[in-house]
Structure 1
Amino acid sequence: MKHFLGHLSRLPSVLACIILFSASSVMAQSQKLPFIQQVKFKKDTLNIISFGAKGDGYALNTQSINKAIATSSQKGGGVVLIPSGLWLTGPLELKSNVNLHLKRDAILLFTDDFNQYKLVEGNWEGQPAWRNQSPISGTNLENIAITGAGVIDGNGGSWRMVKKDKLTESQWKKLTNSGGAVSEDGKTWYPSEKVVKGSKIKNAGVIEAGKTAADYQDIKDFLRPNLLVLTNCKKILLEGVTFQNSPAWNLHPLLCEDLTLRNLQVKNPWYAQNGDGVDIESCKNVLIEGSTFDVGDDGICIKSGRDEAGRKRGVPTENVIIRNNIVYHAHGGFVIGSEMSGGAKNIWVYDCSFIGTDIGLRFKTTRGRGGIVENIYINRINMIDIPGEAILFDMYYAAVDPVPLAGEKREAIKTVVVPVTEATPQFRNFYIKDIVANGAEKAIFFRGLPEMNIKDVHLENVTIQSKKGIEIIEASGVFLTNVNVITEDTNPIVHIQNGSNISINSLQYKNGSELLFNITGEKTKGVKVSRTDVSKAKKASIIGDEVIKSALEISK
């Protein structure tokens, strides 16, 4: 594909390979992985101690560390060393040609003094917004790195609101006794009254014409920063270090090119609201490998802007390799959306494990986003203990936790058809192969829009043990080949509602299941089942009165 860069022979550190999918995927069989340019630094090293830094956990080292970084860059670059110690600091600004290197027994701890973080024009969930300056940031830089084996801690507990339902009684009591404020209904703790006020404002912090930073001071504490934000940078390496305890998202590269994340530990408390691991937004040529994520929101996430602002930017995330990673707690293991208004394409995900993530493979959007997500190749994914869906496509994302809390009630989706416009999102051309999941609430879930179905999704060699089976709603061109669903609820194994051109080849399921196929929806047609032993089910199919009689065709 012409968008991909370089030749396979040029990839010593990014092993070139061709991912083979089913025979129906000629495109997937012939694609080369993208080439990601790597950083290179001078060996010159500056120790932050030489600039007056003190690793006693008390002295504020913002000025010393920033001076070391700036000096290194001015001299042509090199390494800025964070040696052994507990280094308290305010916001740090990276510079071109500098490798910030942390020794293994170094902790870079960001202060909980909010006055150290000025309000800056940034980006939040895909829209231009005022935010507190990120603990680590860089804009319009080239050839930058954070490496080593130390720990970078964002002191996020000082910033985040916490829901009572996500803590034990003793944890909740300790938190509320520490100060801050509790909501009127007693269900949420806030670090300050400014956070309470900000939480009540829709789109708080979004930049408005004629307003300055001064106009947002009364809600400043609510405008939590992401731990690391890199904007419009080229040739980036994050390697070896631990990023943890972020105020909001951990890692947020925006409009960057040639980005490598390797052997990272990315951690947040499981209850950390907006505590994503990494959000790759409108970036090109990206490699994420050998890393471990254990966070409070989505683990590895692809984004490209939100609604009109994202469409106006018009920069997709493309040419991405994600491999050999482990995701523990997260709302999703690998995620695209929901802010994908600029699109996402040409993404490979393979040889990854998801352990206890709310959802395994999670693709989410909603009306108003627009954007096209296409050419996604996923191979060799292992999952265990997934509380929600192992594989989920949902075009009705509603910005709520993927798994309802105890006692939480959610209203059913009311289906209406609206005109197709530039704000209509699209999911198409997904190739998913060799997936194993042991333990999930539901195996596979598709829910498209009636005016814009999910299109052309290929699943091959999939084995999932789950409570519920497969549900396909408003989808066209779904190809299931050698899919084995081992479910507790066998009534039905597969539910199709308003689906068309559905091919099911070699479906395997539990012997003695109550019902194999439940076919509903007046738009359902072209459901073809082959090489599947329907006699193992007590009843092969139930077809709704509104469905045309020829909608389901079963052949040997």
Structure 2
Amino acid sequence: MIASSLKLFAVDVNITAYGAVGNGTKLNTSVIQKAIENCYKGGGGKVIIPSGTFLTGTIVLNDNITLKLEKGAVLLGSTNVNDYKNLDPFVDGLGVSVGWALVVAIDKKNVGIEGEGIIDGQGSKLKAQQILTDTRPESQRWGRRPFLLRVVRCQNVSVTGVTLNYSAAWTSHYFQCKQVSIKNVKIVSRGVAHNDGMDIDGCQDVIIKDCDVISGDDALCFKTTSSKMACKNIVISGLRLKSGQGAIKIGTESMAPFENISISQCYIYDTANGGIKLLSVDGARIHNINISDITMMEVKTPILIRLGARLSVFRKDQDTQQPIGTLENVTIRNVRAKAADNAQLMPPSGILITGIPDHPIKNLTLENVEINLAGGGTDENARQVVPEAIDKYPEVKTFGPLVPAYGIWARHVDGLKLENVKLTLSHNDLRPAFICEDGKNIELNNWDIPKTVDAQAIVRLENVTGADITNNSVYGFAHEFVCVEGNTSGDIHVLKNKLPGISKKVELSADLKTSTVVSD
């Protein structure tokens, strides 16, 4: 069970009693650390940061220590990279050495941060100062910049009420922790690259509730940078997320499983990449994921689901390459999205789902999904070939420049259920609303498909075995409702659909038999 707050401890200390000066210019690292160690030796308690601006480098929390930032308190990160320590080095998904941080807890129990104050990393100023002496390319140099908060292999962690601002890299990274509670936290972290908001990396028994994240990079990101501990038993609710990349992401770093994760009642807005991204590319098993009651406004590409085979290793002295993972038993329901008109793939598409040959995504359900899209696709766009990109970094743009369906495009899937999907378009789109390539056991039920004019097909199935397409309503005019292609297609049922403007219900490619499809 996750503790909602830390127990009462024996000693509370104020850092000013140890000589800390809150003028924003004196470096207080040693005196803050002394206050923490004396509090720990006294049995633990709260180390109080009072009103004022306290400049510091790396400070390390100990067992039974809560850092309390009172109203008006600012713990201000130094702009000198040499004032920071890396107590748990590792390599990120781009192959860069990282791990330096401002506030750190390693292998501790009962640690917390609370209060109405602010931790500010001065990311842009630190970067400007760093590049005066660090002449490496930016792709290598950024990893030397500190995270704002790192909590590593800790048990019973509570972060409540505080504001985390302007990290020089990831804002908060929780690695292989158990019993974690993050509530009413506000993050504003933009201005330099890699400003993730929350990174939950191989953690278990986690609650995140009622937080507000504005991040330059991924807002809420689950990772497993080690194969030794899964991300599991996690409950997320009530988040507001704005991101320069992905709002809710599982992966990219994905060596150990992600399982038993529930995410609900989140509002995503002004996000420059994916709204929801589920990505197993380094061997992870992603399963038993439930995402529900999500609203998205002005989000580029609302959903990306990817099973791939990049197979990176991030702690090379501790880990070995994993076999290709799995992605199964995922349910996403009650999603309303206004997709951005200007997206990574143009013209935009709503949902991309793709495994790789012989490794399909299994048992994926999308239910009660409504997406508004710009439209604008052409006949030529409808035949776009999408790269497999089996071992590539799993990003929306990896599959560009566009995909051939405007609503949902799926490839290498087995057990895909699409129930109560409503699509709306601002402009005519000649691409199909749905395409499946290399699929088994596909269900399309109760779709509401908008008016389009002169499209070739509304649905296209390529090498699909077993499909039920029933009770769908199509309001536009097209040459055919369902186009079936590929010599392995079969056992397709097209029944009880409302098609007043469709010239032909089903069109079969020349190499298929009429018995391939059952229709009314």
Shorter-normalised TM range: 0.7 to 0.9
Tell me what 1:494 maps to: 434
* Cα contact 1:45–1:81 (8 A) shared by 2: yes
Identify which of 449, 464, 480 aligns with 2:356. 449
Tell me what 1:247 maps to: 168
Identify which of 251, 256, 264 aligns with 1:350. 264
* 2:112 pairs with 1:145: yes
State the secondary structure of the residue aligned to 1:339: strand
TM-score by length of 2: 0.80
State the secondary structure of the residue aligned to 2:207: strand
Q: Deviations over 1:303-339 (max 9, x none)?
A: 112xxxx33x2x1100001100100124111110011
Tell me what 1:206 maps to: none
Identify which of 442, 453, 472 aligns with 1:532. 472
* Cα contact 2:424–2:450 (8 A) shared by 1: yes
Q: Deviations over 1:490-530 (max 9, x none)?
A: 521111111221101101111345355342533x2212101
User: Which residues in structure 2 correspond to 1:337-486 (within 5 Å)?
Assistant: 337-357=251-271, 358-366=273-281, 369-387=282-300, 389-395=301-307, 422-440=322-340, 441-467=348-374, 468-486=406-424
Tell me what 2:221 maps to: 301
C-alpha displacement of 1:546:
2.4
* Cα contact 2:419–2:446 (8 A) shared by 1: yes
C-alpha displacement of 1:465:
0.8
Q: Distance in 2 between matches of 1:374 and 1:122?
A: 29
* 2:266 pairs with 1:328: no
* Cα contact 1:338–1:397 (8 A) shared by 2: no
- Tell me: CA distance 1:518–1:506, structure 2 relative to 1, closer, same or farther (3 Å): closer
C-alpha displacement of 1:43:
6.7
How large is the RMSD of aligned CA atoms in angstroms? 2.5
* 2:75 pairs with 1:108: yes
Q: Distance in 1 between matches of 2:183 and 2:358?
A: 41
Q: Distance in 1 between matches of 2:276 and 2:54?
A: 38
* Gapped regions of structure 1 (runs ≥ 5): 6-34, 161-177, 181-190, 201-218, 400-420
Q: Deviations over 1:352-409 (max 9, x none)?
A: 100112211111233xx1110100011111110012x11111235989xxxxxxxxxx
Tell me what 2:385 maps to: none
C-alpha displacement of 1:70:
1.1
* Cα contact 1:68–1:80 (8 A) shared by 2: yes
Q: Deviations over 1:457-486 (max 9, x none)?
A: 111111111133111111111101111111
* Cα contact 1:41–1:79 (8 A) shared by 2: no
Q: Distance in 2 between matches of 1:527 and 1:535?
A: 22
Q: Distance in 1 between matches of 2:475 and 2:14?
A: 73
State the secondary structure of the residue aligned to 2:31: helix
- Tell me: CA distance 1:196–1:267, structure 2 relative to 1, closer, same or farther (3 Å): same
Identify which of 246, 259, 262 aligns with 2:183. 262
State the secondary structure of the residue aligned to 1:338: strand
Q: Deviations over 1:149-179 (max 9, x none)?
A: 111011222454xxxxxxxxxxxxxxxxx78
Q: Deviations over 1:29-80 (max 9, x none)?
A: xxxxxx5564222274211110000001111111111111111111111111
- Tell me: CA distance 1:198–1:334, structure 2 relative to 1, closer, same or farther (3 Å): closer
The code of the aligned residue for 1:134 comes to A
User: Which residues in structure 2 correspond to 1:41-120 (within 5 Å)?
Assistant: 41-42=8-9, 44-120=11-87
Q: Deviations over 1:242-295 (max 9, x none)?
A: 1111121111011100001101111211x5321110110111100111101111
Moved more, 465-474 or 337-346: 465-474
* Gapped regions of structure 2 (runs ≥ 5): 312-320, 341-347, 375-405, 497-520
The code of the aligned residue for 2:415 comes to G
Identify which of 195, 209, 212 aligns with 1:275. 195
Q: Distance in 2 between matches of 1:379 and 1:226?
A: 30
- Tell me: CA distance 1:466–1:370, structure 2 relative to 1, closer, same or farther (3 Å): same
* Cα contact 2:451–2:474 (8 A) shared by 1: no
- Tell me: CA distance 1:338–1:345, structure 2 relative to 1, closer, same or farther (3 Å): same
- Tell me: CA distance 1:130–1:504, structure 2 relative to 1, closer, same or farther (3 Å): closer
State the secondary structure of the residue aligned to 1:41: coil
State the secondary structure of the residue aligned to 1:152: strand
State the secondary structure of the residue aligned to 2:195: coil
The code of the aligned residue for 2:408 comes to I
C-alpha displacement of 1:140:
1.2
* Cα contact 2:295–2:335 (8 A) shared by 1: yes
Q: Distance in 1 between matches of 2:280 and 2:155?
A: 28
C-alpha displacement of 1:116:
1.6
Q: Deviations over 1:518-548 (max 9, x none)?
A: 42533x2212101113574423335354244
Q: Distance in 2 between matches of 1:129 and 1:473?
A: 32
Q: Distance in 1 between matches of 2:120 and 2:488?
A: 59
Q: Distance in 2 between matches of 1:442 and 1:328?
A: 20
* 2:494 pairs with 1:554: yes
Q: Distance in 1 between matches of 2:137 and 2:88?
A: 20
The code of the aligned residue for 1:433 comes to R
Report how many residues are paired: 445
Identify which of 521, 539, 549 aligns with 2:462. 521
* Cα contact 2:112–2:158 (8 A) shared by 1: yes
* Cα contact 1:134–1:228 (8 A) shared by 2: yes
C-alpha displacement of 1:549:
5.6
Moved more, 460-469 or 278-287: 460-469
State the secondary structure of the residue aligned to 1:248: coil
State the secondary structure of the residue aligned to 1:73: helix
State the secondary structure of the residue aligned to 1:136: strand
The code of the aligned residue for 1:435 comes to V
State the secondary structure of the residue aligned to 2:350: strand
Q: Distance in 2 between matches of 1:431 and 1:361?
A: 12
* Cα contact 1:242–1:266 (8 A) shared by 2: yes
Q: Distance in 1 between matches of 2:30 and 2:373?
A: 54
The code of the aligned residue for 2:367 comes to E
Q: Distance in 2 between matches of 1:508 and 1:147?
A: 47
Q: Distance in 2 between matches of 1:104 and 1:547?
A: 68
More helix by share: 1
Q: Distance in 1 between matches of 2:167 and 2:146?
A: 8
TM-score by length of 1: 0.75
